[in-house]
Amino acid sequence: MQLTLWTYEGPPHIGAMRIATAMRGLHYVLHAPQGDTYADLLFTMIERRDARPPVTYTTFQARDLGADTAAIFQDAVSAAYERFRPEAMIVGASCTAELIQDDPGGLARALALPIPVIPLELPAYQKKENWGASETLYRLVRALAGRTLEPSPREGRRPRCNILGPTALGFRHRDDLAEIQTLMAALGIDVNVVAPWGASPADLGRLGDADFNVVLYPEIARAAAQHLQKTFGQPMVETVPIGVGATTRFVEEVAVLAGVDPAPVLAGAPSRLPWYSRSVDSTYLTGKRVFVFGDATHALAIARVAATELGFKVVGLGTYTREFAREVRAEAALHGIEATITDDYLDVEAAIQAAQAELVLGTQMERHVAKRLGIPCAVISAPMHVQDFPARHSPQMGFEGANVLFDTLVHPLMMGLEEHLLGMFREDAEFHDGAAPSHLARHGAAPAAPAAPIPPSPIPAPPDGVVAAWEASAEKELKKIPFFVRAKARANTERFARERALSRITVETLYDAKAHFGR
């Protein structure tokens, strides 16, 4: 275990909370010490939900450890049942309570409640949040879906599917679900159950009545879908419909399983992304070096969109979801790079710098890293902050999701170009910050005083033999280089100076390095 300033995933009981919060009629009793209720803020403050998660904490204190903590847990379970009267209950322990070994499942069974009680064994010191969500959904489906239900004959009815994967606190899950439901309706397919989003325990009992399953987020729903496939013989669609190409393949695969014609839906695909990729404007950004990092679902999908639909060059690809490391490594190999599989944001920062990326597509952590490095960034995956839960409809999936991706991936570069131009002209006699509006001079306005020179940033002296110090004039000249190649120019210049044992980097050094590496 490693202490860190930031973490990509919480412990597995947070994943279980995401499932419970997404559902109706389900309650989670969590054996946890006082203070673990911080998790409520993830949903009420970050996701901006209007209700607390359906979670009861035992909130035992240090002085309770010498007494009977098992009794505290049983009292909490009984009180939660009497107060909330849920259809079903899940019980488990947080990472701290796991050390006490009170066996929440056995203690809950001893109470003989008249509802299903599903115990969760979530090893907090080996697994993390997405795994916890996946395991919780799998356990619920296994316990509640039954084994005997079969779909009614296809004759005389429309095809039916289940949509699996959307959770609370998921990256754009609400909006992705709306897009996929719209696609299903356009194809003439009925949605039998959506789980866990909005589902009740009784709804999970109807999962076997569908013809096939749609897995939107494999990290969350693959295990449950595999169980349904084994139990009911239901095939599943695992193509993640992010981007025009993937959405087209998704529609075609769903149409085959449903026995419907996809042509009318595909003919009316309302996405502007393909138009942009064919336009003259796109040539300004073709070949831009992009680093992609996030959960496996989004990292894989966004890398493919960036490379095949926008013409970017993927120079970095990685994930913190180690369970999907094989898939990410295989995709990285197609781009001729080595995948970054890590849950340490400092490793990701080093990889971004080494790749000399011009655009970062990542998580909330990469947003901060890119800002520090002066590189444009867009958030495409959890973990994220409140600004990544917009009140407006903003999916990533489907054809409308491709429009959102078009904005998400292109705008940071376009706005960066604008900022670069503003920076270039900041000291111009007409455009500097102290200049009066140009039209006032014609009406006798006094000319504005020239802008004071911008003081150079102090340059700390580096350790001997590490890197040459930049002179202020060289730093100023470096800022005239476009932002999307500035990091590369800096790295090349420092390498040039290091190879020649130069102690200072001057303007001449900068241009000598440019000439050297431009050969």
Read off the tokens for 84. 């909330």
- 62 torsion bin: left (phi>0), alpha (psi -120 to 50), beta (else): alpha
- The candidate with the shortest Cα–Cα distance to 209, out of 196, 223, 226, 192, is 192
Determine the Cα–Cα distance for residues 87 and 117; give it in Å rounded to an integer: 9
Could you write out the three-class secondary structure of 411-469?
Answer: HHHHHHHHHHHHHHCCCCCCCCCCCCCHHHHHHCCCCCCCCCCCCCCCCCCCCCCCCCE
What residues are paired with 319 via a beta bridge?
Answer: 294, 341
Where does 43-172 have alpha helices with state H? Answer: 69-84, 95-98, 104-109, 129-144
The answer to whether the Cα torsion of 365, 371, 375, 380 is positive or negative is positive
Q: Tell me the three-class secondary structure of 247-299, residue by residue.
A: HHHHHHHHHHHHCCCCHHHHHCCCCCHHHHHHCCHHHHCCCCEEEEEECHHHH
Q: Tell me if 410 sits within 8 A of 275, measured CB to CB.
A: no
Q: Is residue 416 a known part of a binding site? A: yes
Q: Are 257 and 235 in contact (CB under 8 A)?
A: yes
Nearest to 214 by CA among 188, 181, 260, 244: 181
Catalytic residue check, 281: yes
Distance of CA 477 to the CA centre of its chain: 37
- Catalytic position from the list 75, 281, 428, 433: 281
Would the annotation count 3 as a binding residue?
no
Find out whether 169 is annotated in a ligand binding site. no
Distance CA 48, CA 302 (A): 26
Residues in binding site: 36, 416-417
User: Looking at the annotation, which residues are catalytic?
Assistant: 281
Residues in binding site for substrate: 416-417
Residues in binding site for [4Fe-4S] cluster: 36
